[in-house]
Each structure stands twice: as C-alpha cells, then as structure tokens.
Amino acid sequence: MIPIFTYRTLSFAAPLAAATVWLLAGALPAAQTVATPPAIVIRGGTVLTVTGGTIQNGVVVLRAGKIVAVGNRDTAVPAGAEIVDASGRFVSPGIIDAHSHVAADSINEGGTTVSSMTGIEDVLDPTDVNLQRNLAGGLTVANVLHGSANPIGGKNAVIKLRWGKPRAGDFLFEGAMPGIKFALGENPKDMRQFGQTGPRRYPVTRGGVEFVIRDAFTRAKTYQRDWQEYQRRHTLGEGVLAPRRDLQLEPLVEILEGKRLVHAHTYRADETLMLMRLAEDMGFKVATFQHVLEGYKVADEMAAHGAGGSTFSDWWGYKIEAEDAIPYNAALMARRGVLVSINSDSAEHARRLNTEAAKTMHWGGLSEDEALALVTINPAKQLRIDNRVGSLEVGKDADVVIWTHHPLSTYAIVDRVYIDGTRYYDRLAEERRVTDLRREKTTLAAAEGQRAPTAEQQGPVRSGDGIRATADGTAAIGNPSTRLRAGRGREATFPRRVCVLPGKFRRGPAPSGRQALRCATPPRVRPRIAKLAPRPPAPGAPRPEP
C-alpha cells in the first residue's frame, strides 16, 4: 500500500531545506562508509544466527564481503583482522523489509490500469535521507515496490542500503530475482488523479480489477506464442519477421515463465482467493500477498498455492478493508504453513521492524527465533535471496548488525551495521557528526547575530554508549544506559545567503576567496498548513454520492 496523495508538514528547517534543494539540485550525500580492513572479527557478543541457534560469547568473521566463520569463542581469528569487542551486545543478520517505498517517490502511475512497463530501479533516489534512517534501525535490504494504483503495477527493485553511494545502481541487489506489484481492492478501483472532477478511469469495481488482470495475461499468452512461433521458424532458417516488442506484456511473459515474482497488494480474503484462482487458470503462482490482513481466514489455501504473506504486526481499522484485521494474523498464517514476514510499507516504520516482529511473541506466542525470522530469513525466502542474506551462515553476504540489547527488546538500539563487510553505520561516529554540526550551527548563528539554540532545544547527543576505540586498537562497545528525550520545536528562520563549500553546507555571510564554490540568495519559502479535508456539508445540504 502507498497513499495516493501525501500531505507533508513543514518543520522549522523547511525553509533552509528548500533553499538547499534550490541551490544544490542533484547533490549527493557525503559517503558514510569506512575503509574495509582485510578481515573483521566480531567477538564476545550473543550471536543470533536465526537458522542455526544462538551462540553465547560467539565469533563472526567477515572477509571479502562474505561471512567466513561463525562459531564459539574458540573460533580461529585471521591475522591482521580488525577486532570488534561486542561483549554484552547482540549480533544478528541485517533486517529485511519485503515491502518498502524508501528512495522512491511519485510511483503511482494511476493513468493506466496496467503499468508493467515501468520500473522502480529507473527512479530510485540515492539521496533519500530515509535510507540512512532505516540503516540506523538495522535495515540492510528492502524490496522497493511500485504503488497500488493499478491492478498490474510496475516492476520492483530489491536494494541494499549502501548509504552514501552516489548512483542508484549502486544500491541494487545484484542477482535478486525480478518482481512486480499487483493490487486488488479499494486502491486500484478508486484511483483518481489529483484535481480530477470527471469520471474515474476503469475499473471502478472489484470485478473490473479481476478482468483487467485476466485480460492482460490473455494478451500476454498470445504474445508469448507469437514469439515462440517466430523462434521456431527462425531456427529452421525461414525468413520471418520478429513480432513487434510489447514492453507492457514482456514482464507478464516473464511471470508465466517463472522468471518474475508477483507481489500482490490485497486485504480481503475473497480477493485473495480470486487472484489465486486466476493465477492457477493462467499458469503462474503468486509469490507473496502484501498486507493480506485477512490472511488468517484463507491461510490453508495460501499454503496450498505456495504463496507467502507479508503483513503488518497490528495495524487495524485505518480503512474499510482493514476492519477485520487482527494482531494474531502473522502467527495464525505461520501455524498453517504460510511463509510469513512483517513489513513496513513506510520509511518511518522501517526503522523499527525488529519491534514490530517482537509483537508477534505477545499476540501470537511465537518463539524468539520465529519472531526474528519474520524480518530476516522469511522475507529473504519470499524474495528468493535466502542463499545470500537473512541469516548468519558461512558463505552468505556479510550483512551484520550489532545491537545494544536483543533486537526483539524495546531497548534495542543499533550500534553498527555492516553491508557486504563494509561499515555503513556507526552510532558513535554519527553522534560525533551531529555534535560537530551543532557546534557549527552555533558558530553560524553567532555570526548572524542570532541567539544560538539551547542544549534543551536541540536535545541531547547520546554519548558514551556507542562503539569506542580501546588502548589495544580494538573497538569496544560501552554500556547502553543513556535515554532519549525529545527536543522542542523552534520558529522558522530564513537564511540570508546560502553557500556551498567543499564537503559542507553553510548558512551565513558569504566566505571570501576561492573557498566557496557558489553562493546565492535563496527564495523565501514560508511554511503553509495544507488543507487535509473539506468542510462537512451544511445541515440540509445535499451530500455528494460516495
């Protein structure tokens, strides 16, 4: 699910952000990675392998982007390796989100009912700050999906959160099986373009949604036969012309040939059954039903079809299709043999998928291993990448997270994240960066004659509980005792001059000399409150048709 229209609030920093975008359109984030040593040894922590049990005082060895050893304290350590002392910490595989919209915007192609010719990998935004925020929550892999405006939507993109890489292609998960988004229910049948006042586009009923999908696959089968006949005759040496390529139907042929996965947005049990019947009629399988909040009603049928379920932990009642949602859904589907994952469908929600998975222990009685699997190995299996990620096993990609507490604990905070053996997130380094930025902000405020924000307004920087260097050159992880508190909002201010310096963004008087690359006066953009809903009709006035 992705909302058709999005209203965004504007914080005190929005004018400065608007100026930044205006001046630095297309600018890329500074790389956050650290040079990778020959080998990294994470030792002393509780290792949660997911598939091979839990190892107390364990050792995980990373080298050349892969996991080369997982074992107890006696595991051999390569010479010259960087030693990370994770004593008192927990080590797990990276979190995987089977339904994400991170690094993607304006992805509801609502003008057509079949948009299979479009693809998310063409519009990924490597500068989306939510990539870094999700990374700070332990997320390493995301299945970025098209919106739900169409019965047959666009192609997905499985990515690794290599924050700081300059090109969108650097984020793609090499070798991941292609997929595509389908959608059933209210979203595709009630799609309107922004500002549209005329009739809605077809379909406007659930039956119409079913027909659009069936008709598209009927055409795809004809297209497939035409190409097969061409290949047969071409092989015989006949001088025949190739059929005209149809970029809309080619992805559907890939589905029929088992080369592309179907991720279907659905809520109601009857529509879930409908798509499985249609798929079996047409000769393909639905890989994963997304949301599927009534999956507990048809879990046996889903298991027989071979479809997975990627759902929410306890979302309920936010739309008419979610009225029958229950927090036991994930556990009930799992008990009936369905491969289940917990997803985010939200860049904000993806920062705490570990907590969402933990809820299934309370509501569904799942074990720790079963709950953790919902956001690690299970989504990896749904995406057909479990041979690479999802668990701590020798030979798999070195996607590893170090936590202050058990990841299923409310108190768990991410200390470090490795992707392919490269450190992409370090909490202590991030705290230092924020401290430096605040110091610079205070200096710039003083230069403008403004009063610098107080420490209470800015909120504290957590320190002393991250990974730190020790005398012997190893990295130790301190005591997780500091708590968070929220800062206070501040009145919007507008910069007089915006200047670009090497590696810096500054607000204040224009610097002299050749140090500045470019300076300009930004447009004055003032915050506005969006109108969220129309006023209710006056008493006695005619009401619009639903």
Structural domain spans, the chain: 1-30+494-539, 34-94+390-482, 95-385
Q: What is the DSSP string of 64-81?
A: TTEEEEEESTTS---TTP
**138: exposed, middle or buried (C-beta count within 10 Å: 0-12, 13-18, 19+)?**
buried
Distance CA 321, CA 188 (A): 13
Q: Is the peptide bond before 203 cis (omega within 30 degrees of 0)?
A: yes
Average pLDDT for 57-78: 97
pLDDT at 55 exceeding the cut of 70: yes
pLDDT-based confidence at 133, cuts 50/70/90? very high
pLDDT at 474 exceeding the cut of 60: no
pLDDT-based confidence at 528, cuts 50/70/90? very low
Average pLDDT for 106-121: 91
For residues 368 and 478, the model is more confident at 368
Average pLDDT for 484-493: 35
Distance CA 230, CA 531 (A): 56
- For residue 36, the model assigns a pLDDT of 61
The per-residue pLDDT for range 236-262, each reduced to its tens digit, is 999 999 999 999 999 999 999 999 999
The per-residue pLDDT for range 214-237, each reduced to its tens digit, is 999 999 999 999 999 999 999 999
For residues 534 and 392, the model is more confident at 392
Closest CA to 286 of 203, 373, 180: 180
pLDDT-based confidence at 109, cuts 50/70/90? confident
- Most confidently modeled range among 185-199, 281-295, 440-454, 523-537: 281-295
pLDDT at 460 exceeding the cut of 80: no
- For residue 466, the model assigns a pLDDT of 45
pLDDT at 141 exceeding the cut of 70: yes
What are the start-end ranges of the H helices in 104-144? Answer: 129-135
**393: exposed, middle or buried (C-beta count within 10 Å: 0-12, 13-18, 19+)?**
middle
Q: What percent of the chain has pLDDT over 90?
A: 69
Rounded to the nearest integer, the mean pLDDT of the chain is 83
Q: In this structure, which topology does domain 34-94+390-482 adopt according to CATH?
A: Urease, subunit C; domain 1 (2.30.40)
Distance CA 37, CA 68 (A): 14
The per-residue pLDDT for range 114-131, each reduced to its tens digit, is 999 999 999 999 999 999
The per-residue pLDDT for range 399-458, each reduced to its tens digit, is 999 999 999 999 999 999 999 999 999 999 999 999 999 999 888 888 887 766 666 666
pLDDT at 482 exceeding the cut of 50: no
- For residue 539, the model assigns a pLDDT of 55
Total residues found in the chain within this entry: 546
- For residue 329, the model assigns a pLDDT of 98
Name residue 361's beta-bridge partners.
none
Inter-residue contact 105 to 8 (CB < 8 Å): no
Determine whether domain 95-385 maps to CATH 3.20.20.140: yes
Pairing type for strands 139-144 and 518-520 reads unpaired
